[in-house]
Amino acid sequence: MGGHRREAMRSSLATILAVILAAFPTCAQPQPLTDAQIRVAVSGKKIYFGNDGFNRYKPDGTFEFHTSDGRILKGTYSVSDGKICHQFTVSGRSRCDRIVKDGEKVLLVDGKGTKYPLVAN
């Protein structure tokens, strides 16, 4: 009788574990997007950088960074090798970031690994 009880308990624990793992599929890694997918994903969208402001991407390859203190910094962006690169007009500063898909979300991932969601205007 003890063997049946032990087997039933193992089966129940395996079922519980399977349900828990199915409910939390966060172990999946974000997937990189192709250059074409990135262009479609960012065109006409905004990326909010926490409390620092947001980028607005225009279909013509320009962007505006709206800072939290009300300034608007303009520049151009380009896409290659799975990254989006920003060139700021006035400062000449540039940076490149990855764009990935994580489940249903499309995210910009900066050089520090911080993730920022792309959102519709």
What are the structural domains of the chain?
Answer: 29-120 (2.40.128)
Higher pLDDT, 64 or 4: 64
Read off the pLDDT of residues 68-102 as tens digits, 9 standing for 90 and up: 999 999 999 999 999 999 999 999 999 999 999 99
**C-alpha distances in Å from residue 39, one per residue of 1, 26, 80, 81:** 64, 26, 10, 12
Q: Mind giving me the DSSP string for 22-61?
A: HH--TTSPPEEPPHHHHHHHHTTEEEE-TTSEEEEE-TTS
Other beta carbons within 10 Å of 79: 20
